[in-house]
């Protein structure tokens, strides 16, 4: 069994943060050690991460590997898909979801190494368009513009950002009006790819994608009003059957530490403390 498929084009585009990781991390408090411990040379943790983390994890991977010498291997997908795959037997050490619901399913299944999921970040929903869009500068009223033929959102049944997008459209009393125009991505990374490629004119995507160097070069974004959708509070769990539980818990402790949390806004995520 393999973790959820991510479109190749988007996977390639999200290499950019890794290429700039050394520059971003130079002198950064992300790093806690100058040299990795030799005892960690062959240790590895496997993380199943919600798709909104695709632009974020390469930077975190680089920082953590540099600080500890422990390899971090990440696969991406919608939170619902990843949770289902883990319950069905997919072997990972950590599941980082985009909300509480899906990590809680791992807890309820008796598969988590804790009694409840651990909060690690907060997400933000944005409206994004390419630089060649005729609807720039962006404003929320463009969502009701009759000239707009397609708006990308993630599947609200599988992706927390999709639920947030649907809630925002309903709050603005636009959902019924734009429903025929919606282009549905299986997860938030595929949703971003739809609007990046021009298969959708506008997209309701994650700030993690919109704030990445790749998407900042291609387009522009505005924030959705926070009041228009429920808070996107992201949680994770360590798997009880993980053969690397100590290393997995150490990663979660690092991710939720004050030092790392203070740097998450640079990557499009909100801190939990």
Structure tokens at 108: 């309820």
Kindly state whether residue 3 falls inside one of the protein's structural domains: no
Q: What is the model's pLDDT at position 223?
A: 98
pLDDT beyond 90 at 253:
yes
Question: Of the candidates 165, 170, 171, which has an alpha carbon nearest to the alpha carbon of residue 191?
Answer: 165
Model pLDDT for residues 89-135, shown as the tens digit of each residue:
999 999 999 999 999 999 999 999 999 999 999 999 999 999 999 99
- Specify the higher pLDDT residue, 25 or 77: 77
Q: If pLDDT is split at 50, 70 and 90, which confidence band does 30 have?
A: low
Q: What is the mean pLDDT of the chain?
A: 88
CA dihedral 213, 218, 220, 225 (to 10 degrees): -70
pLDDT beyond 70 at 9:
no
Kindly state whether residue 272 falls inside one of the protein's structural domains: no
Kindly state whether residue 139 falls inside one of the protein's structural domains: yes
One domain, residues 27 and 114? yes
Q: What are phi and psi of 141, to 5 degrees?
A: -65, -20
Q: If pLDDT is split at 50, 70 and 90, which confidence band does 42 have?
A: confident
With a pLDDT cut of 70, the percent of the chain lying above it is 85
Model pLDDT for residues 157-168, shown as the tens digit of each residue:
989 999 999 999
Once rounded to an integer, what is the mean pLDDT over residues 43-49? 97
Model pLDDT for residues 50-82, shown as the tens digit of each residue:
999 999 999 999 999 999 999 999 999 999 999
Model pLDDT for residues 196-246, shown as the tens digit of each residue:
999 999 999 999 999 999 999 999 999 999 999 999 999 999 999 999 999
Q: What is the residue range of 20's domain?
A: 8-122+231-267
Number of domains in the chain: 2
Instruction: Tell me the C-alpha distance between 254 and 257, whole Å.
Output: 5
- Specify the higher pLDDT residue, 40 or 146: 146
**Burial per residue of 170-201, b for 16 or more beta-carbon CB atoms within 10 angstroms, e otherwise:** eebeeeeebeebbbbbbbbbbbbbbbbeeebb
- Decide the pairing of beta strands 182-185 and 151-154: parallel
One domain, residues 112 and 169? no
Q: Residue 23 contacts by C-beta under 8 Å, 6 or more apart in sequence?
A: none
CB 97 within 8 A of CB 117: yes
Q: What is the model's pLDDT at position 4?
A: 37
How many other CB atoms sit within 10 Å of the CB of residue 149? 12
Kindly state whether residue 76 falls inside one of the protein's structural domains: yes
One domain, residues 156 and 191? yes
Q: What is the model's pLDDT at position 81?
A: 95
Once rounded to an integer, what is the mean pLDDT over residues 31-47? 64
Q: What is the model's pLDDT at position 31?
A: 52
One domain, residues 66 and 82? yes
Once rounded to an integer, what is the mean pLDDT over residues 15-24? 41
Q: If pLDDT is split at 50, 70 and 90, which confidence band does 39 have?
A: low
List residues bridging with 151 in a β-sheet.
182, 202
CB 53 within 8 A of CB 6: no
CATH code at position 102: 3.40.190.10
Q: What is the model's pLDDT at position 273?
A: 75
Q: If pLDDT is split at 50, 70 and 90, which confidence band does 41 have?
A: low
**Does residue 56 have a cis bond before it (omega within 30 degrees)?**
no
Element (H, E) at 71: strand 71-77
One domain, residues 249 and 217? no
Once rounded to an integer, what is the mean pLDDT over residues 7-29? 41
């Amino acid at each position: 069994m393999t973790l959820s498929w991510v479109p190749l084009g988007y996977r390639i585009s999200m290499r950019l943060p890794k290429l700039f990781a050394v520059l971003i991390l130079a002198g950064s408090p992300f790093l806690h050690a100058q040299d990795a411990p030799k005892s960690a040379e062959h240790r590895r943790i496997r993380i199943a991460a919600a798709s909104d983390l695709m632009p974020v994890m390469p930077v975190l991977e680089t920082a953590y590997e540099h600080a500890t010498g422990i390899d971090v291997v990440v696969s991406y997908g919608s939170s619902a898909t990843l949770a289902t795959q883990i319950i069905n037997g997919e072997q990972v050490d950590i599941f980082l979801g985009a909300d509480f619901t899906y990590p809680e399913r791992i807890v309820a299944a008796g598969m988590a190494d804790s009694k409840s999921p651990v909060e690690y970040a907060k997400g933000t929903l944005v409206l994004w368009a390419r630089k060649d869009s005729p609807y720039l500068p962006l404003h929320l009223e463009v969502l009701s513009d009759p000239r707009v033929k397609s708006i990308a959102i993630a599947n609200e049944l599988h992706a927390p950002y999709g639920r947030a997008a649907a809630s925002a459209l309903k709050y603005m009393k636009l959902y019924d009006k734009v429903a025929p125009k919606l282009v549905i991505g299986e997860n938030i990374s595929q949703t971003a790819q739809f609007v990046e490629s021009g298969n959708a004119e506008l997209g309701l995507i994650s700030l993690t994608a919109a704030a990445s160097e790749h998407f900042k070069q291609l387009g522009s974004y505005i924030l959705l009003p926070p009041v228009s959708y429920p808070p996107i509070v992201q949680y994770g769990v360590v798997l009880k059957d993980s053969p690397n539980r100590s290393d997995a818990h150490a990663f979660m402790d690092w991710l939720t530490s004050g030092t790392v949390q203070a740097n998450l806004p640079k990557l499009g995520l909100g801190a939990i403390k």
